[in-house]
Structure 1
């Protein structure tokens, strides 16, 4: 009996020592992380929110300002990704249609793929080849070309291409330098190029129209890619040019009996949106979500539905206003971003998620950052002037996977300085957690 009691005491003592050692280890790791991101550090010069969450144990290791709202920039695309994962599953909705003899009437469903050469191409021409006439209606378009809160002076840049129901060419046009004269890659704009006297090596677009200007004396650069002004009339014209058959613009309501043409696998769109942070694809994916839910293209309505259903249990209600994160009206807390990451992690195999996200030092927007012998950062970036965010998964040396949200707002430093200090924090986590 004495031996048994002594052995029990020994086991209890060892357990106490192990627990005590674990407590010390947890405290030391916390203090080490706090010394990098806590009070009186670089991250006290501006508004910073940070949270580290172990995915498999559900343990919050560290948080700073995780309850406060931040501008998430392009990490907003994680909301769009999750919405499409829940609603669209694995297919794209390209257009809806009704057949009548040798005619077909189509309504766009938002698919950004057709003639956008960075994406696999849906076989639209093959499908429409059997019809003598195509009618196009935009009656299901219930949105605006620009998102709420987008900056007006971004109209000139490819990252701010307009949204539309049936996009073609990514809603951008490029120019070739042919004998020092810009030549549009889209035939519809062949006669839209004019000259002006402003000293510019490239082509510029008029603010309100699809008139493009260049200076014959200074023009040397065939770029840049320029967004064009979208309209139902232009879509009909582009369809005529490509299909080589009559296309009539009509005003017909979309019937509930309309069939759906699915363009293909949505995964290439996800990859381009997540890794290259393509704003146009993100916005159009959100419109496809709306099409699937309501049979109309209304991003605000889609956001409201997703928030009230799939995101109703977030710790804090986000202000989510567009698909891409171009708008500064988007606001979200770090702890809500962590909950979102946990939802995404549960909705798809983790290895697939890690392949979709940009990998530090390997690809996408993280190709030149967070380099290591083996990638340890798998995360979506977000950057607009004076704001930088990184949300995703970190794989530590111990083999554990932690979700993290690192949001920085209102700094006056260069974004490269912010990333450099963030890397110090993430390297510490990699080695110690």
Structure 2
């Protein structure tokens, strides 16, 4: 009888027991967070593509539209830098020979200083102590030969730029700026000068400002006008049609009067800049350049080339590091073209497409996943998939130069183009990625270390965002921050 009474009572209590046990929410995982991010972006009309693999085995761990082709922007630099490292090795250094062609007559050198263009993108750059002193090295070598006066020129050989004044698909309105400097076979001071604009206190803001170029020996035709009707303050420059030089407009709102501004501009003739630099360095050492109108003190024999000095670059690993961390377009183009010369004997963009295509084929990357047109990513003709970009980095990790390539990638919260990105104690130092930005496009490719995950301690990833709009509720930088942090912290399954 008691058993008969207990059974209905237990059945009645079962629903109540279920109510007291609320269902626990699912623990967050990397895939759930990534899909939530992408859903938010795609609901607003953006495109999102991502691919993640194990850094050792290549096992796919996450994919989302990884086959969609988008503009890679500066993530194309990973392709060019990985390729040149594979061909030349991390210890390779450019060597630029300098010779004298002329005769010495009682301390007077009658002839030319001749430079053989070697394609070194760092020659004369302020980034490296050994390259910043290029002109001083030439001047010191001439003084050491007993030269006290000089009549002649600085000449650069091997500067036929007919095939690549600019990269194919580059935007014409970028051409005046330093980030779009032409990748000439002879580079000096990164083919860049600094334009400074200033107004003294009390000067009418509508009047043309004072213009100054740095370095002081630079020569660049500039025309600067003022626009006081703009919404914000900036300096906008374009190349002048029909001749060298640039035309700039210093813009600001009517109620503002900025006193100073600077902009880095590209120069067309780096050999002229180098010649002026050498002449200045010699003057500082008391060696003047005499006018060509002076008669020779004695009949001269035909000039015989005499080696003077060889200008040597930093190792390729250092050049690649500044290329990727600072996203230097000129360096990426020159490194890509140097790889092309190594593979084909030519330095043209047609040869570059062929050489990079063959390199990608060697890595098992089909053309449908990566179609490079230039080395920097400035070209709007480049196409890439997240799958292709990941494959470039993954295959590089298996080769001797892999460490040099990984160390060249910006570190979130520390340096390069990711220096300002927020990190936590857990994510700090564990996110490395090359960034890429063009209008409406934002891309990232890199490696992430996962502490505590013995199965997948390091992963390679690519995140590509297209059709982005300035008013998007989830900005691309925030999407990357959350995506990368989740790769460090959350389970992959």
> Per the shorter chain, which TM-score range?
0.7 to 0.9
Q: Secondary structure at the match of 1:116?
A: coil
Give the alignment of 1:50-199 within 5 angstroms: 50-89=50-89, 90-95=91-96, 105-122=114-131, 124-125=134-135, 128-129=138-139, 130=141, 134-141=154-161, 143-176=163-196, 180=200, 181-189=210-218, 192=221, 196=225, 198-199=227-228
Q: Secondary structure at the match of 1:145?
A: coil
TM-superposed CA distance for 1:382, in Å, is 0.6
Match of 2:6 in 1: none
Q: Which string of whole-angstrom CA distances, capped at 9 and with x for unpartnered residues, describes residues 292-338 of structure 1?
A: 44555324413422321464343321221111111111101211111
**Cα distance in structure 2, aligned partners of 1:160 and 1:408:** 23
Match of 1:419 in 2: 477
Contact 1:378 1:394 in 2 (8 A): yes
TM-superposed CA distance for 1:96, in Å, is 5.3
Match of 1:409 in 2: 466
TM score, norm. by length of structure 1: 0.78
Bigger shift: 115-124 or 403-412? 115-124
Give the alignment of 1:358-377 within 5 angstroms: 358-373=410-425, 374-377=428-431
Contact 2:83 2:359 in 1 (8 A): no
Contact 1:116 1:170 in 2 (8 A): yes
Bigger shift: 383-392 or 224-233? 224-233
**Cα distance in structure 2, aligned partners of 1:80 and 1:99:** 35
**Bigger Rg, structure 1 or 2:** 2
**Cα distance in structure 2, aligned partners of 1:398 and 1:349:** 27
**Cα distance in structure 2, aligned partners of 1:410 and 1:224:** 29
Note if 1:329 corresponds to 2:381: yes
**Cα distance in structure 2, aligned partners of 1:419 and 1:191:** 37
**Cα distance in structure 1, aligned partners of 2:186 and 2:338:** 11
Give the alignment of 1:3-402 within 5 angstroms: 29=29, 32=32, 35-36=35-36, 40-43=39-42, 45-89=45-89, 90-95=91-96, 105-122=114-131, 124-125=134-135, 128-129=138-139, 130=141, 134-141=154-161, 143-176=163-196, 180=200, 181-189=210-218, 192=221, 196=225, 198-199=227-228, 204=237, 206-208=239-241, 209-210=244-245, 220-230=259-269, 236=275, 240-241=279-280, 262-293=312-343, 296-309=346-359, 311-317=361-367, 318-348=370-400, 352-373=404-425, 374-399=428-453, 400-402=457-459
Q: Secondary structure at the match of 2:394?
A: helix
Contact 1:156 1:205 in 2 (8 A): yes
- Report the aligned-residue RMSD: 3.6
Bigger shift: 419-428 or 363-372? 419-428
Q: Which string of whole-angstrom CA distances, capped at 9 and with x for unpartnered residues, describes residues 357-394 of structure 1?
A: 11111111111225121322111011111100110111
TM-superposed CA distance for 1:282, in Å, is 1.4
Match of 2:203 in 1: none
**Cα distance in structure 1, aligned partners of 2:198 and 2:422:** 41
Bigger shift: 176-185 or 142-151? 176-185
Instruction: Give the total of aligned pairs.
Output: 395
Structure 1 alignment gaps of length 5 or more:
1-26, 249-258
**Cα distance in structure 2, aligned partners of 1:195 and 1:70:** 37
Distance 1:243 1:107, change over 3 A: farther
**Cα distance in structure 2, aligned partners of 1:296 and 1:235:** 25
Q: Secondary structure at the match of 2:475?
A: helix
TM-superposed CA distance for 1:126, in Å, is 5.9
Q: Which string of whole-angstrom CA distances, capped at 9 and with x for unpartnered residues, describes residues 80-109 of structure 1?
A: 111220123222324356776766643312
**Cα distance in structure 2, aligned partners of 1:197 and 1:177:** 11
Distance 1:99 1:88, change over 3 A: farther
Contact 2:352 2:374 in 1 (8 A): no
Structure 2 alignment gaps of length 5 or more:
1-26, 104-111, 143-149, 201-209, 251-255, 284-288, 293-308
Contact 1:166 1:235 in 2 (8 A): no
Contact 1:275 1:356 in 2 (8 A): yes
Distance 1:197 1:164, change over 3 A: same
Q: Secondary structure at the match of 1:372?
A: coil
TM-superposed CA distance for 1:76, in Å, is 0.4
Bigger shift: 413-422 or 187-196? 187-196
Contact 2:397 2:403 in 1 (8 A): no
